[in-house]
Amino acid sequence: MTQSHPHSLAYPALLLGNVALAFGPWLVRMADTGAVAAGFWRLALAAPFLFLLAGVSGQPVRWPGRRLAIALFAAAAFFALDLAAWHAGIRLTKLGNATLFGNFASFAFAAYGLWMARKWPSHMQAVALVLAAAGVGALMAGSAELSARHVRGDSLCLAAGLLYTGYLIIVERSRGRLKPLPLLFMASLFGAIILLPISLAFGERVIPHDWTPLLILAFTSQILGQGLLVYAIGHVPPLIVGLAFLTQPAISALIGWLAYGETLTPLDWAGAIAVGIALVLVRLRLGKRAAN
């Protein structure tokens, strides 16, 4: 199976995974631990379940060999630092800012896919990218408050987006040699090992009073969200993966409205619709290629 003929469930899995991941910033805000510690628990709590799921699904975890293990540790390092920067940024800026800047990976990963293909985007891809960029710009202008007060948080979230791109690139290159669940388990285990000493070095509170937000964060973001994403990356081209990330700011804006009363403006709705149209265009293009 090639990336031009993705598995029939890969695209729905990609969208559902992004929906689950969009709840992450809200849950990080609700957690009563340090920001980096919340990332540690997200990975540490998910790891045992991922190990069990891997065995039950016929993808038992085995030592992948030295070279692949090094690649997975590098991916985990990118992912751990992404979580550390993003979780810190979430608490220093608005929810909309954090999601928008954190999803800079949507453009970076799509650009990586085109660079790897050594070609310019097709007309349909170009239209989709322009619409997606316009949608993100509209969401940013309508719901993300850009001010000096938020510069530090915005910068951390932008750095997180770049680090996440590095994680995705390594995962995409490793998926052909390792099943999704063992890959995600090892990345989660290595990432937790990296994050705990960082949290302790910052003097954060590690043990929570209320475990509920952290348990939900581990299930929705790491087990469900990342699990579906890692599966989809094995079947869906990077351009589509990158564009699908842009659904997260729209969902995050809705969560901000429901949880914090952050009103959705007409510009916010216009941005969300533009992102949706971009995804439809890419899906139609994918369908035509699969039919040929």
Give a yes or no: residue 226 inside a domain: yes
Looking at this protein, which amino acid is placed at residue 153? G
Is the predicted pLDDT of residue 39 greater than 80, yes or no? yes
Give a yes or no: residue 1 inside a domain: no
pLDDT of residue 287: 46
pLDDT of residue 283: 58
- What are the φ/ψ torsions at residue 23 (nearest 5 degrees)? -85, -10
pLDDT digit string, tens, across residues 69-89: 999 999 999 999 999 999 999
Record the tokens describing residue 210, joined without a space.
């209320």
| Number of structural domains in the chain | 1
Domain coverage including residue 265: 11-287
* Residue pair 274/142 in contact by the 8 Å Cβ criterion: no
Alpha-carbon gap, residue 236 to 240, rounded angstroms: 7
Alpha-carbon gap, residue 31 to 145, rounded angstroms: 23
pLDDT digit string, tens, across residues 246-290: 788 778 878 877 887 766 678 777 877 887 777 667 655 544 444
Give a yes or no: residue 107 inside a domain: yes
Give a yes or no: residue 3 inside a domain: no
Give a yes or no: residue 86 inside a domain: yes
DSSP H stretches of helix in the chain:
10-22, 24-30, 35-56, 66-90, 95-102, 105-117, 123-143, 151-174, 180-201, 212-217, 227-233, 238-244, 247-260, 266-291
Give a yes or no: residue 149 inside a domain: yes
Record the tokens describing residue 178, joined without a space.
């390792």
pLDDT band at 3 (very low <50, low <70, confident <90, very high): very low
Is the predicted pLDDT of residue 233 greater than 90, yes or no? no
Average pLDDT over residues 133-157: 70
Give a yes or no: residue 2 inside a domain: no
What 3-state class would DSSP assign to 110?
helix
pTM (2 decimals)?
0.79
Place of tokens 């969009």: 22
Q: How far is CA 114 from CA 119, 198, 230, 282, in A?
A: 6, 35, 20, 14
Place of tokens 């239209």: 127
List Cβ neighbours of 46 (8 Å cut-off, separation of 6 or more). Answer: 188, 218, 219, 222, 223
Alpha-carbon gap, residue 14 to 35, rounded angstroms: 26
What 3-state class would DSSP assign to 68?
helix
Give a yes or no: residue 168 inside a domain: yes
pLDDT band at 1 (very low <50, low <70, confident <90, very high): very low
* Residue pair 250/96 in contact by the 8 Å Cβ criterion: no
What 3-state class would DSSP assign to 25?
helix
Looking at this protein, which amino acid is placed at residue 97? N
Q: What is the mean pLDDT of the chain?
A: 82
Q: What is the largest CA-CA distance in the chain?
A: 58
